[in-house]
């Protein structure tokens, strides 16, 4: 058994910390996964309670995989921001109550004795796709995660772009309409207010409140608060006129943002993650057509727009990958 462990040079714990759930896995430098676990964040317990639970679950995953904590080379954590990824400090996270200036790196290292790095959760998800997912054979990648908002990550020449104080890649908050919808961040017209999964649902609710007729109301049995992007897509598949109108509007805005990113960064790949990618051709065919109309041909022709491949594992895989390939940044 010890010989087997020696053959495995670098075991990394990758952790994706979310407001509701945590996804954790053990992975080696070749991308082989040895154990994984999905568990509630218990955010109501505050930072110390959440961290204590993460340590407890990590020890469980390590034990079940046949290892000890001392066998873990590094720990990588993807966390909501804003944060200082250099120092591993969380400045504040909307979905994590009480997380103000939390020294996550320091606390995890003290509890485990394992060198730890922390980065933005969207950065980690996109880096995961770069390492083992849809972006495996690409070096210039822009990633979008479409959910409640829009997370983003930028990889140029194989390296994650972090910015002056490590908060680059807030793609969801670039403005596409300075007189538009007020975002939770306080600004107007943020991209995520028009092109996220939540935006699809919000557009539907708004139009139904104004009297629009649609089978969406039947699907949710009259409770419009239950409308989601999935609900709208279900209506779309049933040739609902309003659902088609909302879907087309969503693709128009999504395409506008992607066209901006293509024109600015000239990447090889735009990778899109989130439940909406399950729409397949109904999303990607019209999206590519719309993007093409708004970019230079020479830029569009070298770029692919593809769905992510790693699903819920992406963030944890990417957190581990960053510790493996860019560990110097985190001073590991």
pLDDT of residue 242: 97
Q: Which residues contact 212 (CB under 8 A, 6 or more apart)?
A: 242
Same domain membership, residue 326 and residue 186 = no
One domain, residues 299 and 262: yes
**Considering the domain boundaries, does residue 111 fall inside one?**
yes
Question: Given its phi and psi angles, is residue 172 left (phi above 0), alpha (psi -120 to 50 degrees) or beta?
Answer: alpha
Please report whether residue 128 resides in a domain: no
Tell me the two tokens of residue 90.
């969380």
User: How many domains would you assign to the chain?
Assistant: 2
Contact between 118 and 133 under an 8 Å Cβ cutoff? The reply is no
Per-residue CA distances from 324 to 124, 213, 242, 255 (Å): 12, 53, 47, 33
Helix-strand-coil percent breakdown of the chain, rounded to 5?
45, 20, 35
Give yes or no for a contact between 255 and 292, defined as CB atoms under 8 angstroms apart.
Answer: no
**Structural domain for 114, as ranges:** 2-121+313-330
Q: Are residues 24 and 168 in the same domain?
A: no
In a domain, 67, yes or no: yes
Tens of pLDDT along the chain (332 residues) come to 444 444 456 999 999 999 899 999 999 999 999 999 999 999 999 999 999 999 999 999 999 999 999 999 999 999 988 899 999 999 988 778 899 999 999 999 999 999 999 999 999 999 999 999 999 999 999 999 999 899 999 999 999 999 999 989 999 999 999 999 999 888 999 999 999 999 999 999 999 999 999 999 999 999 999 999 999 999 999 999 999 999 999 999 999 999 999 999 999 999 999 999 999 999 999 999 999 999 999 999 999 999 999 999 999 999 999 999 999 999 99
**Residues 99, 164 within the same domain:** no
Backbone φ, ψ for residue 103 (5° rounding): -85, 75
Same domain, yes or no: 189 and 317 = no
Q: List the CATH number of the domain containing 220.
A: 3.30.420.40
How many H helices and E strands in the chain? 12, 13
Torsions phi, psi of 77, nearest 5? -125, 130
Q: How far is Cα 105 from Cα 112, in angstroms, rounded to an integer?
A: 11
- According to the model, what pLDDT value does residue 34 have? 97
Same domain, 95 and 113: yes
Q: Are residues 141 and 176 in the same domain?
A: yes
Residues 195 and 71 in one domain: no
- Pull the structure tokens for residue 113: 């004795």
Q: Provide the pLDDT for residue 163.
A: 93
86 & 200 share domain: no
Query: What pLDDT score does 4 carry?
Result: 47
Instruction: Give domain status of residue 126, yes or no.
Output: no
Same domain, 48 and 165: no
Do 89 and 42 share a structural domain? Answer: yes
Pick from 123, 134, 43, 113: which is nearest to 78 by CA? 123
In this predicted structure, what is the pLDDT of residue 151? Answer: 92
Distance (Å) of CA 69 to CA 6, 31, 153, 324, 330: 15, 19, 30, 17, 20
173 with 277, same domain: the answer is yes
Spell out the residues 6+ positions from residue 65 whose beta carbon is closer than 8 angstroms to its own.
Answer: 26, 34, 35
What local confidence, expressed as pLDDT, does residue 8 receive? 52
Write down the pLDDT at residue 81. 83
Q: What is the pLDDT of residue 94?
A: 74
């Amino acid at each position: 058994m010890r010989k087997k462990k020696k053959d495995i040079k670098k075991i990394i714990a990758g952790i994706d910390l979310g407001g509701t759930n945590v996804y954790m896995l053990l992975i080696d430098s070749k991308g082989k996964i040895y154990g994984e676990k999905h568990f509630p964040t218990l955010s109501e317990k505050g930072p110390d309670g959440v961290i204590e639970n993460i340590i407890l679950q990590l020890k469980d995953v390590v034990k079940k995989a046949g290892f000890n904590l001392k066998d873990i080379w590094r720990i990588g954590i993807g966390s909501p921001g804003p944060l200082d990824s250099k120092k591993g400090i969380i400045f504040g996270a909307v979905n994590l109550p009480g997380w103000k200036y939390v020294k996550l790196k320091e606390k995890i290292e003290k509890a485990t004795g394992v060198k730890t790095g922390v980065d933005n959760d969207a950065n980690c998800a996109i880096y995961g796709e770069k390492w083992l997912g849809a972006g495996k054979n690409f070096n210039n990648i822009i990633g979008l995660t479409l959910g409640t908002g829009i997370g983003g990550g930028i990889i140029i020449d194989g390296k994650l772009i972090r910015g002056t104080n490590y908060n680059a890649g807030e793609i969801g908050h670039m403005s596409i309409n300075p007189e538009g919808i007020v975002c939770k961040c306080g600004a107007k017209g943020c991209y995520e207010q028009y092109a996220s999964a939540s935006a699809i649902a919000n557009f539907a609710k708004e139009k139904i409140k104004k009297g629009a007729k649609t089978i969406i109301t039947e699907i949710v049995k009259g409770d419009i608060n239950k409308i989601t992007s999935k609900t709208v897509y279900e209506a779309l598949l049933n040739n609902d006129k309003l659902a088609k109108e909302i879907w087309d509007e969503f693709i128009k805005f999504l395409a506008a943002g992607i066209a901006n990113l293509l024109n600015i960064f000239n990447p090889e790949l735009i990778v899109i993650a989130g439940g909406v990618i399950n729409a397949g051709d109904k999303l990607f065919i019209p999206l590519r057509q719309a993007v093409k109309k708004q970019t230079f041909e020479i830029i569009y022709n070298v770029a692919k727009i593809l769905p992510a491949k790693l699903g819920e594992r992406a963030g944890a895989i990417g957190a581990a990958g960053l510790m493996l390939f860019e560990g110097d940044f985190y001073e590991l």
